[in-house]
């Protein structure tokens, strides 16, 4: 499992370009004779049919890497491609799920129900899950389980909280149009710099004054493009940002408020506004019974001291689409270990994992599926 992960780590592939990765997984699945199909353009969906009839549980791993330069010089399995890196640990997800599939396949006659598995491409651009769903990954599925290796959680700890785990992550673009002119004659112009600045300062009031203080939310304007020269009054401004929250009602309230702020601020200065709001991932809200089942499995397999309650993160995860209409849960597998220098943030060029966590991850995939299929309550 570790060797397989290191091989993927050496050969990172960006979203929807995971051809070598898909081939490597397929080769391993061919060796054990599991039924699978390749998805377009990359990725794999497979299934282990149990010996006895029952429900179907889906196990998910993502397989893509990031356009990040690896900075870690201390490992001999460093990325061989400049500017590309497994900086989020999806290489380990792939290796862990593959190991779980091998183990579950050995005991398939004893399974009550079926285990579907998906090696999903393009998580980092929040497209892969949708593409897998379009290609039928959820057809006939009763429950979904996934996990992320997590450098912010200590190694040997595993978390699967009930309720919010990851935030919704949306993209926001606003264009303000004024009227350009000479910097010395503002009275003949409508200054887009003024409009954009006023909007940026005011838009933060949405979170502080309109959103319930007990509902976490983020509005960030990360980019502002306005103006051409020191003595020219700008005609246009383009702003880009992101909105994060854990509640889709809060999300709708923020969207409406942003549009109102953009239009009203523009009107105040005689400008016009155009708002493009692109919905990204949904929040990951772990369904209660699924999360509690995962907690039981973690406690039984690794001991109560391993069970950890990681705080929700305002990062996004397209696992949310699998559990939009089907119950399921997403666990965080701790791999942070300062002694091994694996506490770096995800997406950082120094990111790495404590590979000791991987045995637990593979076991958790397998044990969750086993426990789900064998319990009566669902």
Binding residues vs Ni ion (CB under 5 A): 88
Contact 51, 111 (CB under 8 A): yes
Q: What minimum distance in Å lies between the beta carbon of 139 and Ni ion?
A: 25
CB atoms within 10 A of CB 5: 24
Q: Could you give the CA distance from residue 73 to residue 70 in angstroms, rounded to a whole number?
A: 8
For Ni ion, give the closer residue by CB, 47 or 123: 123
For Ni ion, give the closer residue by CB, 89 or 328: 89
Q: What minimum distance in Å lies between the beta carbon of 148 and Ni ion?
A: 6
Q: What minimum distance in Å lies between the beta carbon of 85 and Ni ion?
A: 12
Q: What minimum distance in Å lies between the beta carbon of 165 and Ni ion?
A: 13
For Ni ion, give the closer residue by CB, 22 or 114: 22
Q: What minimum distance in Å lies between the beta carbon of 89 and Ni ion?
A: 7
Tell me the CB-side half-sphere exposure of residue 114, using CA atoms within 13 A: 15
Q: What minimum distance in Å lies between the beta carbon of 87 and Ni ion?
A: 9
Q: List all residues 6 or more positions away from 286 whose beta carbon is below 8 Å from its beta carbon.
A: 160, 161, 162, 163, 164, 165, 323, 328, 329, 330
For Ni ion, give the closer residue by CB, 88 or 158: 88
For Ni ion, give the closer residue by CB, 88 or 282: 88
Burial code of 180-216, b = ≥16 C-beta within 10 A, e = fewer? bbeeeeeeebbbbebbbebbbeebeebbeeebeeeeb
For Ni ion, give the closer residue by CB, 180 or 336: 336
With 0-12 CB in 10 A as exposed, 13-18 as middle and 19+ as buried, what is 134? exposed
With 0-12 CB in 10 A as exposed, 13-18 as middle and 19+ as buried, what is 12? buried
Strand boundaries in 102-162, DSSP class E:
112-120, 143-154, 158-159
Q: What minimum distance in Å lies between the beta carbon of 93 and Ni ion?
A: 8
Contact 345, 306 (CB under 8 A): no
Q: What minimum distance in Å lies between the beta carbon of 208 and Ni ion?
A: 30
Q: Which residues pair with 57 in a beta bridge?
A: 115, 143
Helical residues (DSSP H) of 147-246, grouped into ranges: 192-203, 205
With 0-12 CB in 10 A as exposed, 13-18 as middle and 19+ as buried, what is 377? exposed
Q: What minimum distance in Å lies between the beta carbon of 84 and Ni ion?
A: 15
Collapsed DSSP state (helix, strand, coil) of residue 178:
coil
For Ni ion, give the closer residue by CB, 6 or 90: 90
Contact 343, 357 (CB under 8 A): no
For Ni ion, give the closer residue by CB, 87 or 192: 87
For Ni ion, give the closer residue by CB, 61 or 273: 61
């Amino acid at each position: 499992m570790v060797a397989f992960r290191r091989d993927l780590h050496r050969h990172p592939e960006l979203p929807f370009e995971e051809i070598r990765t898909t081939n490597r997984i397929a080769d391993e699945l061919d060796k054990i004779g599991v039924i699978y199909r390749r998805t377009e353009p990359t990725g794999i969906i497979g299934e282990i049919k149990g010996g006895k009839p029952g429900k179907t549980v889906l196990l998910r791993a993502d397989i893509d890497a990031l356009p990040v330069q690896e900075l870690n010089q201390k490992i001999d399995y460093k990325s061989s491609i400049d500017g590309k890196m497994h900086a989020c640990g999806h290489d380990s997800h792939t290796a862990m799920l593959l190991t779980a599939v091998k183990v579950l396949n050995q005991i398939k006659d004893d399974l009550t129900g079926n285990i579907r598995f998906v090696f999903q491409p393009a998580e980092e651009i929040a497209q892969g899950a949708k593409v897998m769903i379009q290609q039928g990954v959820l057809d006939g599925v009763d429950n979904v389980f996934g996990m992320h290796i997590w450098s912010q959680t200590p190694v040997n700890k595993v978390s699967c909280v009930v309720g919010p785990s990851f935030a919704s992550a949306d993209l926001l673009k606003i264009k303000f149009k004024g009227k350009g002119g000479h910097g010395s004659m503002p009275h003949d112009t409508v200054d887009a710099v003024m409009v954009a600045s006023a909007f940026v300062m005011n838009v933060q009031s949405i979170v502080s004054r309109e959103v319930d203080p007990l509902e976490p939310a983020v509005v960030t304007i990360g980019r502002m493009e306005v103006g051409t020269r020191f003595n020219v009054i700008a005609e246009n401004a383009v702003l880009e940002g992101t909105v994060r929250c854990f509640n889709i009602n809060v999300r709708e309230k923020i969207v409406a408020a942003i549009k109102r702020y953009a239009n009203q601020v523009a009107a105040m200065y005689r400008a016009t506004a155009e708002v493009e709001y692109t919905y990204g991932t949904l929040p990951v809200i772990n369904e209660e019974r699924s999360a509690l089942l995962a907690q039981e499995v973690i406690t039984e397999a690794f001991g109560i001291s391993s069970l950890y309650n990681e705080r929700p993160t305002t990062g996004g995860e397209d696992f949310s689409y699998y559990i939009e209409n089907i119950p399921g849960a997403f666990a965080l597998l701790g791999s942070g270990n300062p002694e091994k220098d694996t506490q770096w943030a995800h997406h950082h060029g120094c990111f790495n994992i404590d590979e000791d966590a991987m045995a637990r991850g593979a076991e958790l995939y397998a044990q969750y599926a086993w426990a789900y299929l064998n319990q009566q309550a669902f």
